[in-house]
Structure 1
Amino acid sequence: MKETISDPEYRLEECFQPRGRTAADPVLDPPLFWKDENLIPEQRRMRLAGVLVAGAAALVASLAVPTSSFAATPTSSSMAAASSSTVHSKAPNQVNWKDLAKLSTSHHALGLFGRDGSSPVLALPVGTSASEKAKVKAQLPAGADVTIKTSRFSESKLDQIQTKVTARKWNSDADKYGFAVEYDAGADKMVVHTDAPASITKPLRDAYPGALELRPSRVVPQVDRFSDAQPFWGGTALIAHVGNGAPWCSSGITVKNRVTDHLYMTTAAHCFPTLTHVYNRRADASFGNWTGQVVQRSSNTDTELMSTSTPVGYGSDIFDGGTSTSTSHIFVHGIQTTYDGLKVCVSGSVSYNHCGHPISNDHFSVCYSGNICIRDGKGFLYDRGGTNWPTYNNGTLTQGGDSGAPIYTLDTTGSAAYIAGLHSGIQEDACCTAKMIGVKAIEVFADLAVGPVTR
């Protein structure tokens, strides 16, 4: 059954057959061939939802027994890290693992640690006597390949470091990054996984000289556009009850009030009326987590702001995956000034992430039916681009439901986004040549008295 939008301030208008409609569907007859991006495709795509995890949660080394076994001798560097004794024969089987777990507990060991490509390590706390280590060795399962080590750490010291790392109180900006911490028994060090720069982690390294190893890592919640949760990111899938319909749109970027620093999430103003409660759209098009309530709406830049009841409802990342199940995302690092010829990316919840779109008109205005506009040259047109010489027009186009999505460029490393604008709609002429419509980020900020949230 066809779903329609009943927003009294905005009516959908189509001049051609978008993806998901049939020739039998009625086509409205606007005079200028404008096509907005708030359509709901009838052909649903089934998508897998990611498993939610806490982004900054510690990945602490567990005392539980792994379900896989390993059979490799310790490396020379591992042997040098702490005093050890090894019994060589075969990898432990499942019964051995259970026995080793009991042995570890009975001797108050730090734990039993196993990794692919190395033998299991049973780590004893600092100060363990030679006689105690000998008892442990004597009780090993017959023939099992297990390394027994005496660590530089006590259990309380490991707990202290884990607590300190995940508390992130040692630098005022530490909570802007993900951190995970685990004990590496082979190296006898606490390993901190993070994407934070050295300037942020220096106080941590200074607090535990020689005891920590920092490894560059991205520590993030495993969510996608269809299973988002606080803090919500740009490019996530949105849905709301509007009249008898349930329009789809995409979130844009997190912004903050210039005076109060209160956080908001943007989307297109033609998506939802003021005071509408908006939700994350799940893969099956059902309603997921509450994303916020529309509290401010601009008809001059086709942008509206959503707000939550918590101070950390929105984050500075945007989804940048090119498939429905991708969990890929990048952080917003700055603002991109637009100009003719600039190639941009757009990341919507229907067409997903695609790049290589050249801006063809950097001073563009549009008013859709109703009272939603991008006025006074605050918008821009960007082409589909492509690889087919000489027209270069076989690139991906945005689709209904992509409205509000972030438009951006990448830094030279491809790891950070610079926001150029927000996606609004499509202009399509009588010859079916389509150009996508964006509103400039700097104009949105000026119009709504907000600024971008970056890191």
Structure 2
Amino acid sequence: MGLAAGPALGDGKPDTPAKLGDQRPVAADLAAGKAALTVSAEATQASAAIQSRILQHVRAKGTKYTFGAYADALTGKVVVETDAPSDVVDSLVGDNSKGLVEVRKQTATDDFTRRDDVPAFWGGSGITFAAPNGHCSAGYTVQNSAGTRFMVTAGHCFANGATAVTELGGRVVGVASGNGLPGQDMVLLGGQSYAPFVYVGGVDSSTGHHVASAANPIVGFNNYCHSGRTTGEHCGHTVSSITGTVCTSSGCKSPVIVYSGGTLPQGGDSGAPFYALSVSADDKHIRGHHIASSGTTRYAEMWSRVQARFGVSIVT
């Protein structure tokens, strides 16, 4: 069986691999009277080794590149389909002096997007609440002391007991609890599986990057990012304060992050993760989640307030 591609590797989708069913051919499969094809033991072993190395690579490096790998019974070759550069491919394929491995330069994509997410759910996806056409964005995954995982989002999106569903597919993302309003614009969504990834790229992206840590932002730093269902991922935000106050129809929140600059979040981006990039830009470092807008100024809840209210840690 080939590897799942792209973000499905590592701790992406699904969170645990599905069990294989009965692999014996049934009569309908062999109606033409042809025997089932097999591959050599050498190809089987080589394929298993390459798949194992790919899994280890993606768990360590994230989903910057996509991969598909399998032993092809039609050709007898081990096929590796990837958009990774040659040095990465060489390190994963290993010795190919016998020509057993065929590398195909192509990109594997997933049949889900940030607006039609599937478990295990990621931050930055589009989620819907009860009001007509009401949309917010998922934030990031946390866990309590018992190891139970939740998704953080903005409190003004979901009252306690409300059910959040995906924007397009209508899949249940979670049931809201612990709403911090008034005073703290945050809520937990629970009851489903959640992974330590946030969507990156555009509004129809199916690519996620790994969450590596969480902390409060630094005033004056000028390259923070957000990733939401309305505007997608954008960086270049500058934090001007972490002791701000913002008062909206849902009440006053203080202290909060104040930021501006770059392409800013818009309506529907509430709850979107607010983060810093790693040097390689593959890992994301959570600093909070977006909650409000005023002219060219934006406001976000800080990680430390989420951590303190819910007694949670970031899932990495």
Scaled by the length of structure 1, what TM-score is found? 0.51
Q: 1:158 to 1:275 in 2, by over 3 A?
A: farther
Question: 1:446 & 1:216 partners in 2: Cα distance?
Answer: 47
Confirm whether residue 380 of structure 1 aligns to residue 257 of structure 2. Answer: yes
Quote the residue 2:148 is aligned against: 262
Q: Is the partner of 1:288 in helix, strand or coil?
A: coil
In 1, Cα distance between the equivalents of 2:313 and 2:248?
26
Secondary structure of the residue aligned to 1:301 is: coil
SS at match of 1:350: coil
CA–CA separation in structure 1 for the residues paired with 2:277 and 2:104: 24
User: For 1:142-157, what aligned pairs fall within 5 Å after superposition?
Assistant: 154=40
The answer to whether residue 218 in structure 2 is matched with residue 335 in structure 1 is no
In the alignment, structure 1 residue 365 sits paired with structure 2 residue 255: no
Q: What is the aligned partner in structure 1 of residue 179 from structure 2?
A: 297
Counterpart amino acid of residue 265 in structure 2: T
Distance 1:174 1:54, change over 3 A: closer
Cα deviation digits, residues 321-363 of structure 1 (max 9, x gap): 13x3232321111224312211211111112221111111121
**Aligned Cα root-mean-square deviation (Å):** 4.2
Which residue in the other structure is 2:163 paired with? 277
CA positional deviation for 1:166: 6.9
Aligned to 1:226: 115
Residue 303 of structure 2 is aligned to residue 441 of structure 1: yes
Distance 1:227 1:347 in 2: 15
Distance 2:211 2:217 in 1: 16
In the aligned structure 2, how far is the partner of 1:291 from the partner of 1:175? 27
Map of 1:121-160 to 2, 5 A cutoff? 154=40, 158=43
Q: Specify the alignment match of 1:183 in structure 2.
A: 71
CA distance in 2, matches of 1:438, 1:334: 17
Please give the alpha-carbon distance, in whole angstroms, between the structure 2 residues aligned to 1:271 and 1:338.
24
Structure 1 residues 448, 435: closer, same or farther in 2, change over 3 A?
same
- Matches of 1:218 and 1:330 in 2, distance apart? 16
Question: Unaligned 5+ residue runs, structure 2?
Answer: 18-32, 85-90
Q: In the aligned structure 2, how far is the partner of 1:327 from the partner of 1:233?
A: 10
- Indicate the residue corresponding to 2:127 in structure 1: 238
Amino acid at match of 1:233: W
Whole-Å separation in 2 of the counterparts to 1:107 and 1:278: 49
**Cα 1:340–1:176, aligned 2, differ >3 Å: closer, same or farther?**
closer
1:366 CA displacement: 2.6
Report how many residues are paired: 274
**Separation in 2 of the partners of 1:315 and 1:399?**
25
> Which of residues 304, 308, 311 is equivalent to 2:191?
308
CA contact (8 A) 2:179 2:188 kept: yes
Shift of 1:306: 0.3
Contact 2:215 2:285 in 1 (8 A): yes
Letter in 1 for 2:124: G
Q: TM-score, normalized by length of structure 2?
A: 0.71
Using a 3 Å threshold, how does the CA distance of structure 1 residues 235 and 174 change in structure 2: closer, same or farther? Answer: closer
Unaligned runs of 5+ in 1: 1-51, 59-104, 111-152, 196-201, 386-394, 429-433
- 1:170-192 deviation digits (Å, cap 9, x = unpaired): 98x96997774223799955759
Asked if 2 retains the 8 angstrom alpha-carbon contact of 1:252 and 1:266, the reply is yes
> Equivalents in 2 of 1:212, 1:396: separation in Å?
44
Q: Deviations over 1:37-67 (max 9, x none)?
A: xxxxxxxxxxxxxxx9982499xxxxxxxxx
Q: Find out whether 1:321 has 2:201 as its counterpart.
A: yes
Structure 2: how far apart are the matches of 1:397 and 1:232? 24
- What per-residue deviation string (whole Å, max 9, x for no partner) do you get for residues 253-286 of structure 1? 01111x111110111001111110111112xxxx
| Alignment CA distance shift 1:398-1:279 (3 Å) | same
* Distance in 2, Cα, partners of 1:194 & 1:54: 13
- How far apart are the structure 2 equivalents of 1:396 and 1:440? 20
Give the structure with higher Rg (CA). Answer: 1
User: Could you tell me whether the CA contact under 8 Å between 2:7 and 2:208 is conserved in 1?
Assistant: no
Distance 2:234 2:269 in 1: 12
Counterparts in 2 of 1:403 and 1:107: CA distance versus 1, 3 Å: closer
Q: In structure 2, how many angstroms separate the alpha carbons of the residues matched to 1:108 and 1:352? A: 46
Contact 1:53 1:222 in 2 (8 A): no
How far the C-alpha of 1:165 sits from its partner, in A, is: 7.5
Letter in 2 for 1:260: A
Q: Is the 8 A contact 1:55 1:220 kept in 2?
A: no
* Counterpart-to-counterpart distance in 1, 2:164 and 2:35: 54
